[in-house]
Chains A and B, each alone.
Chain A
């Protein structure tokens, strides 16, 4: 029997293409799942409007769910309501970001994230922009090295 719970469980296997230890569920990108007989609709909310990884994510979600017995058709739809905000990342997701070396998003604007390596709070902004749209670069005064942080949006 196909249940929504089972779909969510399988979505846990679909990872963020840029951070392979964290799933799209932990990133808070899955908004809603709807099963109609052998068809599944997955509504996802993109982290950034212009994220170039969206097509890859769509394909990976489709591939993963089609491995489930009883599913013939997967429709992945990106929606902007609700808008993705960095508060949607789950507590497990925040932990995994840190383990990957990326500081989880701060709670307030203009706050500096703690260093994901040493936990030092006194960092400084190196660049509000980073290697991808969703990350910024900071400098840890304790480790004396730069680190990346997920942007608060």
Chain B
């Protein structure tokens, strides 16, 4: 058990693997949180607006928690980590950086991500890094509401039939084709496992995820597209699409006016 940042910093192998994982967690939440905030004022109903802005706030808040852990481990301050890192330093899955698309695409992606997050937290629930274990235990309780909301919409679109169901099915196929790197733990998966930072690897992650979404597909009356595709572009290793460049340019526009400003 590694109880704090000081202990983690004494072991270079541990530190390297842990930091890489924390960047994945932080960047996933920051990226999807930003995309969620883009729905503000554009949702089909005002309830959806309130929901997406609240979810955005939670996700960005969770990203800050992981950035704080990184800062304790010797990385720069959270604002710098969020706004000033280059594209190839980012570790988020490329699925999360894609544009919001239509309502169905946003709901399907978020629902898939929320189930994934829940399962990834299962992999971290007994992590050897105590501050991470304690934090995700709290995060899980909040994610309950995101998952419930997205699942409700997913099933609602399916049950509605007609155009809603058609768009849902189109979105499922599109998101499915982009799933590859979501389940990757990056370059250090073997170390993460051996050091007990994660409890299981990507294969188990995929199995548990599939098991969970399968039930919802049945409820919504839609078919599973098949196997999860292999990784082509891996965001966990810093490979990204031009979508992330544009997202970061928008997100850091104000920060870049004066990075030294105190807010």
Please report A residues at the B interface, Cβ cutoff 8 Å: 48-52, 79-81, 83-85, 109, 126-133, 136-137, 151, 153
Q: From A135, which residue of chain B is reached at the shortest CB distance?
A: B54
Q: From A84, which residue of chain B is reached at the shortest CB distance?
A: B138
Q: How far is the CA of A85 from the CA of B155 in the complex (A)?
A: 29
Q: How far is the CA of A51 from the CA of B64 in the complex (A)?
A: 11
Asked if residues B51 and A127 are in contact (CB atoms below 8 Å), the reply is yes
Q: From B50, which residue of chain A is reached at the shortest CB distance?
A: A129
Q: How far is the CA of A32 from the CA of B144 in the complex (A)?
A: 28
Residues on B with C-beta less than 8 A from A80 are 131, 134-135, 137-138
Q: From B135, which residue of chain A is reached at the shortest CB distance?
A: A80
Q: How far is the CA of A48 from the CA of B51 in the complex (A)?
A: 16
Asked if residues A133 and B138 are in contact (CB atoms below 8 Å), the reply is no
Of the candidates B53, B62, B134, B148, which one forms a contact with A128 in the assembled complex, judged by CB atoms under 8 Å apart?
B148
Please name 15 further chain A to chain B contacts, defined as beta carbons within 8 Å, in addition to the given A48-B61, A127-B50, sorted by A numbering.
A49-B62, A50-B58, A50-B60, A52-B57, A79-B134, A80-B137, A81-B134, A83-B134, A83-B141, A127-B47, A127-B51, A133-B57, A133-B142, A137-B50, A153-B141
Q: Min CB distance, A61 to chain B, in Å?
A: 19
Q: How many A-B residue pairs have CB under 8 A?
A: 67
Best-surrounded residue of B55, B145, B149 (most CB of chain A within 10 A): B145
Q: How far is the CA of A50 from the CA of B61 in the complex (A)?
A: 4
Residues on A with C-beta less than 8 A from B141 are 83, 85, 153
B39 contacts partner chain A, Cβ-Cβ < 8 Å: no
Asked if residues A130 and B61 are in contact (CB atoms below 8 Å), the reply is no
Q: How far is the CA of A136 from the CA of B141 in the complex (A)?
A: 15
Asked if residues B145 and A129 are in contact (CB atoms below 8 Å), the reply is yes
Asked if residues A133 and B51 are in contact (CB atoms below 8 Å), the reply is no
Question: What are 23 residue pairs bridging A and B, where the CB atoms are less than 8 Å apart in the complex?
Answer: A48-B61, A48-B142, A49-B65, A49-B139, A49-B142, A50-B57, A50-B59, A50-B64, A79-B134, A80-B131, A80-B137, A81-B134, A83-B137, A83-B138, A127-B51, A128-B148, A129-B50, A129-B54, A129-B145, A130-B54, A133-B61, A133-B142, A137-B50
Asked if residues B57 and A126 are in contact (CB atoms below 8 Å), the reply is no
Residues on A with C-beta less than 8 A from B144 are 109, 153
Residues on A with C-beta less than 8 A from B61 are 48-52, 133
Q: Which residues of chain B from 36 to 86 have any CB-CB distance to chain A below 8 Å in the complex?
A: 47, 50-51, 53-55, 57-62, 64-65
Q: Min CB distance, A47 to chain B, in Å?
A: 10
Using an 8 Å CB-CB cutoff, how does the interface string of B127-143 with A read, 1 for contact, 0 for none? 00001001101110110
Q: How far is the CA of A76 from the CA of B164 in the complex (A)?
A: 50
Residues on A with C-beta less than 8 A from B62 are 49-50
Q: Min CB distance, A126 to chain B, in Å?
A: 7
Best-surrounded residue of B57, B59, B134, B138 (most CB of chain A within 10 A): B138
Q: How far is the CA of A3 from the CA of B96 in the complex (A)?
A: 51
